[in-house]
Amino acid sequence: MKVLTIVGARPQFIKSAVVSRQLRKNNEEIIVHTGQHYDYNMSDVFFDELKIPRPDYNLGISGGTHGKMTGEMLIEIEKVLLIERPDMVLIYGDTNSTLAGALASVKLHIPICHVEAGVRFGTLTNPEEINRIVSDDVSAILMCCTESAVRNLSLEGKTENVFLVGDPMYDAFNFYVDKIGSKAPEKIIGLDGEEIFFPDKFYYMTCHREENAGSDEPLTEILYAMNSLKFPCVYPVHPRNKERVIQLKQKYNFKNIIACQPVGYLMSIYLTVNAEKILTDSGGLQREAFFAKKQCITIFDYIVWPETMIDNRNQLCKPCRKEIVSKINTEQSLTCALMPFGDGKAACKIAELISKFDR
């Protein structure tokens, strides 16, 4: 079978690393990178570190409004599909690249396999929710990470060709956690390229969503809270927030915040495994915190991965300094051994189901 995979953003590179490895055992794969993420440490570093085959096409489309970005991707993906004529298109998650890939494929009657199907926040104010719902609606095979995702689809009447395969992020975590080594890095690269000594003990924070980092107020609250804790906070900053973080750090003299450039996946796993606790608004990092048995605070209004909330191991929190400090400083039990994200073989199952798919 000839499968055309569409990726564009950081979390998709990680998932495709493990799925491509399995898929290529029995299928031909063409990789299309939309260009949505393009800085070295938002894109190439993942291809290098995780040994993902180089994309066959890079469309170089990024930035602008959601409509512009998605529209340009739709036009260019359609051109590639008409050249390659794949038997199936493989899309991941909920980015604008996912939506554009789904629309271009369904219009050409090419079956779509959607990995990470069925995740729902319950609000169309979130741009990723729109991308997910539309992608699920037009896909031929829906690969779910968790039982709650299967349930969400069932509530929408989607029960055919829905498969509970587990989470490829869990596969990736298991595969790469052994490769990070135990030695702490001596230094980390700051936002202006300066070298910063790496602390012995630290909190790990990522925060990039529009709701939290798109204006000064919520981000100031979050940084205030993290700056006041007993250990420094390592914060790799998404490029969209770089200027705001530099400016807020200077304005409020947040000396306990180690704001650095985005790190590669192996370093991110190192930070996850070795952090005291984690604060994030990332869908990926809150699951990785769960895999690593680290307490996590998620700055978001909606539950994205209910399975991570067991024993309050992951708790939602408002961008409010008092609430963040209180939640971070309250210890939660991390002993529960339940693993609701599969058996670490999601990628195998996805590849098998794709190979067997009968159009």
Q: Which residues bind ligand UD1 (CB under 6 A)?
A: 9-11, 36-39, 42, 63, 94-96, 127-128, 208, 239-240
- Least distance from C-beta 330 to ligand UDP, angstroms? 24
**CA–CA distance from 98 to each of 113, 249, 354 (Å)?**
11, 34, 18
Nearer to ligand UD1, 20 or 96 (CB): 96
Nearer to ligand UD1, 63 or 185 (CB): 63
What is the 3-state composition of the chain as percent helix, strand, coil, each rounded to the nearest 5? 45, 15, 40
Nearer to ligand UD1, 20 or 70 (CB): 70
- Least distance from C-beta 316 to ligand UD1, angstroms? 17
- Least distance from C-beta 39 to ligand UDP, angstroms? 11
Cα(105)–Cα(238) distance, rounded to whole angstroms?
A: 30
Instruction: Give the DSSP H or E segment for 187.
Output: strand 187-189
Residues listed for the chain: 359
**Degrees, nearest 5: CA angle 54-60-64:** 140
- Does 208 qualify as catalytic in the annotation? yes
- Find which of ligand UDP, ligand UD1, none residue 127 binds, CB within 5 to 8 Å per kind: ligand UD1
- Positive/negative CA dihedral, 46, 352, 119, 292: negative
- Would strands 57-58 and 257-260 be described as parallel, antiparallel, or unpaired? unpaired
Cα(44)–Cα(54) distance, rounded to whole angstroms?
A: 9
- Least distance from C-beta 348 to ligand UDP, angstroms? 20
Q: Identify the burial level of 26 via C-beta atoms within 10 angstroms of its C-beta, where 0-12 means exposed, 13-18 middle and 19 or more buried.
A: exposed
Nearer to ligand UD1, 94 or 307 (CB): 94
- Find which of ligand UD1, ligand UDP, none residue 37 binds, CB within 5 to 8 Å per kind: ligand UD1
Question: Tokens 């069925």 appear where?
Answer: 118
- Find which of ligand UD1, ligand UDP, none residue 16 binds, CB within 5 to 8 Å per kind: none
- Least distance from C-beta 175 to ligand UDP, angstroms? 13
Q: Which residues bind ligand UDP (CB under 6 A)?
A: 10-11, 14, 206, 236, 262-265, 268, 282-285, 288
3 state SS for 215-258: CHHHHHHHHHHHHCCCCCEEEECCHHHHHHHHHHHHHHCCCCEE
- Find which of ligand UD1, ligand UDP, none residue 21 binds, CB within 5 to 8 Å per kind: none
Closest CA to 40 of 65, 18, 10: 10
Report DSSP state, residue 50: T
Task: Record the tokens describing residue 7, joined without a space.
Answer: 């990726």
Annotated active-site residue in 33, 37, 208, 238: 208
Nearer to ligand UDP, 81 or 117 (CB): 117
- Find which of ligand UDP, ligand UD1, none residue 212 binds, CB within 5 to 8 Å per kind: none
- Least distance from C-beta 42 to ligand UD1, angstroms? 3
Question: Residue 191 carries which side chain, given as an amino acid letter?
Answer: L
- Find which of ligand UD1, ligand UDP, none residue 262 binds, CB within 5 to 8 Å per kind: ligand UDP
Nearer to ligand UD1, 11 or 55 (CB): 11
Active site residues: 208
